[in-house]
Amino acid sequence: MAEPGRLRWNPALVAGTVVLGGTALTIFVASFVMGDAAERLSADIAHPVSGEHWLGTDYFGRDQLARALVGAEASLLMALAATAISMVIGVAAGAAVWTAPRRLREFSLRIVEITVSYPELLVAVVLAAILGAGRWQLVVAVAVANIPATARLTANLSGALYQRDFVTTARLTGVPRRAVISRHLLPNMAEPLLIQLAATFSTGLVAMSALSFVGLGVQTPDFDLGRLLADALPSIYSRPIEVVGPTLLILLLSVGAMLVGDGLAAAADPRVSRGKSTTRRSGRASGATGQAVVADLEVVRTDGVPLVRGVSFEIGRGEIVGLVGESGSGKSLTALSLARLLPDGLSATASDLRAGAVDLLGRPSRRELVDAVAMIYQDPGTTFNPALRMGAQLTEVLRVHKGLSKRAARAVIVDLLAKVHIPDPERLLAAHPYELSGGMRQRAMIAAALAAEPALLVADEPTTALDTTVAAGILRELARIRDETGTSILFISHDLGVVEELCDRVLVMKDGAIVEELTQEALRTGDVTSPYTRMLLDAVPRLAVRS
């Protein structure tokens, strides 16, 4: 969710505001000044375009431009009224649904879903036909037709917010229902609702014009843009100029509102303007000989803020190196640079970046990358696609990048799964991710990572999301892999206790730089020099009593 802050202007928003604001202002001023000209009959019947009448006159001698602008005012006001009604009722209903008791809520949500499935224009046509023709009937018809969409959007947004702790806390504190909605729900969905507002206005305006055009809306002698178009239709071949004014105004108003909506959407999503990530060489390679080499790695944000500042280290064959630091220290970015997986908007430079025989600064093919680096992520709950069976996901690397047949890949994976102590590998391959526990998924992830026999295994907080007993098993697994296969492992964690148990060497990172390098022995005995490492060590809660 975006934090409160200033509005980020963008071209669509500027253009939309100028078009919509300019048109609306012109309409209001014009209808104030030219209101009389639009109604007054004169002898100048069906005049063509002239300096006096910019869009000519109609068969009753009325000025067409004045009529278009006055009609547009009616359309604009009606669209605003309909938008206001549908937004107020839709938002109120959508938010209230979530504060209702469960049964009522489920029932109401189904009703909203059913009503959303009817096209808005169709509903508006039916309602207008039932209510009869006229300005207010038209406003009500279009407003009601637009309510379900707004209600569903609000209900969905409220549903997501309702699960958040601050809403739960407020409810438990005894905050009244209305205050929960006005203080906690509505302010946090302001952006999407503004976008919805713009869209509702735009579609409402077009729908009203359409209804008036087919005779279900405003009736003569009243007129709006749709009515003017209908009046102009019979003579469209002889006097096409009559449709120009109303058409142009419908276009300007609806496109202006659409642009504002688009602009608001873009402003609400800060990701739009970011560029793709890059990884470049910054200097001469150092000639280091480790299984994995990182030299002078720097990661910089597009706005120039450095996130990793000159990190260098090597990992030998069969070595587990721990990378420790707190959130924001740059440890994950270092790992992601190695896997060439930096998020958009970041650029990395290094004088040397290698894993096994693969130069990661060049343009490694996918296949080379597979040979070089494999990753294990923190949350085993989100690493797998919930819709696919484990078998297809675990064998993917082998089938796609190593060119193995389905059966051969399966055999390799079954073997690896058995090695990471999964009791019934065949059954796991047939299962969907949700059927497995977190520990099982993490073991499966490790098996999949090993399938490609990478030179370097990067484990990014692989035990943080797991229970301690399960985590202990995963750590044993990683140590065994190192001993048996000689894979180099970069183990990232914020927990010194875990790192101390597993790693041969530990690098401590702070603010994007390595502040200390320790051996396992030094860490165990507390033989550290950097005050930061000392602070981290002291912060780890340890059992004072051991049975």
Structure tokens at 83: 């938008």
Of the listed pieces 58-66, 149-157, 339-347, 461-469, which binds another protein according to CB under 8 A?
A: 461-469
Binding residue (CB under 8 A) for another protein from 418, 472, 479, 513? 472
Closest CB 16 distance from another protein, rounded Å = 25
Nearer to another protein, 208 or 264 (CB): 264
Displacement of CA 127 from its chain's centroid (Å): 36
DSSP state for residue 3 in the 8-state scheme: P
Q: Which tokens go with 287?
A: 């000639």
Residue 446 has φ and ψ, to the nearest 5°, of: -65, -45
**Is 159 exposed, middle or buried (CB count within 10 Å of its CB: 0-12, 13-18, 19+)?**
middle
- Say if residues 496 and 537 touch (Cβ distance below 8 Å): yes
Give the amino acid at 519. Answer: T
Does the protein bind another protein through residue 239 (CB under 8 A)?
A: no
- Is 547 a binding residue for another protein by CB under 8 A? The answer is yes
Contact status, residue 15 vs residue 261, Cβ threshold 8 Å: no
Check residue 506 for interaction with another protein (CB under 8 A): no
Cα dihedral: 251, 256, 262, 263 (round 10): 160
Tokens of residue 18, six digits: 């100028």
Which of 164/239 has CB closer to another protein?
164
Question: Given the complex with another protein, which of 163 and 485 has the nearer CB atom?
Answer: 163
Query: Does 486 participate in binding another protein (rule CB under 8 A)?
Result: no
| 540 contributes a contact to another protein by CB under 8 A | yes
For the chain, count helices (H), then strands (E): 22, 12
Instruction: Compare residues 168 and 382 and give the one whose CB is closer to another protein.
Output: 168
The sign one gets for the Cα dihedral 243, 246, 249, 250 is negative
Contact region with another protein (CB under 8 A), list: 74-82, 91-99, 356-364, 465-473: 465-473
Nearest to another protein of 190, 388 (CB atom): 190
Residue 3 touches another protein, criterion: CB under 8 A: yes
Specify whether the CB–CB gap between 64 and 245 falls below 8 A: yes
Work out which of 76, 250, 498, 514 binds another protein, going by CB under 8 A.
498
**Range 63-82, binding another protein (CB under 8 A):** none
Write the DSSP symbol of residue 222. Answer: S
Q: Which stretch binds another protein (CB under 8 A): 59-67, 151-159, 282-290, 498-506?
A: 498-506
* 8-state DSSP, 343: P
Give phi and psi for 506, each to the nearest 5. Answer: -130, 130
The only residue of 21, 176, 215, 283 in contact with another protein, by rule CB under 8 A: 176
Comparing CA positions, the residue from 182, 200, 201 lying closest to residue 190 is 182
Site string (150-169) toward another protein, x via CB under 8 A: --------------xxx-xx
User: Cβ closer to another protein: 3 or 303?
Assistant: 3
Q: Is 477 in the site for another protein (CB under 8 A)?
A: no
Decide if residue 538 touches another protein (CB under 8 A).
Answer: yes
Asked if 357 touches another protein (CB under 8 A), the answer is no
Binding of residue 298 to another protein (CB under 8 A): no
Unique residue bearing structure tokens 């923190």 = 378
Point out which span in 107-115, 178-186, 246-254, 427-435 binds another protein (CB under 8 A): 178-186
Do residues 20 and 263 touch, judged by C-beta distance below 8 A?
Answer: no
Considering only residues 494, 513, 515, 522, which one is a binding residue for another protein as defined by CB under 8 A?
494
Q: Which residues contact 372 (CB under 8 A, 6 or more apart)?
A: 355, 356, 358, 360, 364, 454, 455, 456
Note whether 434 binds another protein by CB under 8 A.
Answer: no
Helix axes 225-232, 241-268, angle to 10 degrees: 150
The least distance separating another protein from the CB of residue 260, rounded to whole angstroms, comes to 22
Spatial CA neighbour of 201 closest among 259, 244, 116, 154: 259
Contacts with 8 (C-beta within 8 Å, 6 or more apart), sequence order: 266, 267, 270
Q: Residues 119, 234, 270, 497: which binds another protein (CB under 8 A)? A: 497
Figure out which of the listed residues 471, 481, 508, 509 binds another protein, where binding follows CB under 8 A. Answer: 471
Q: Which is nearer to another protein, 42 or 169 (CB)?
A: 169
Determine contact, residues 509/331, Cβ cutoff 8 Å.
Answer: yes
- By CB under 8 A, is residue 220 in contact with another protein? no
Site pattern 376..415 for another protein (x: CB under 8 A): ----------------------------------------
Are 157 and 189 in contact by the 8 Å Cβ rule? The answer is yes
Which residue among 467, 483, 484, 527 contacts another protein (CB under 8 A)? 467
- Identify the helix (H) or strand (E) that includes residue 305: none
Q: Taking CB under 8 A as the criterion, which residues in 300-329 touch another protein?
A: 326-327
Footprint of another protein (CB under 8 A)? 1, 3-4, 164-166, 168-170, 172-176, 179, 183-184, 187-188, 326-327, 438, 467-472, 475, 494-498, 500-501, 524, 535-536, 538-547
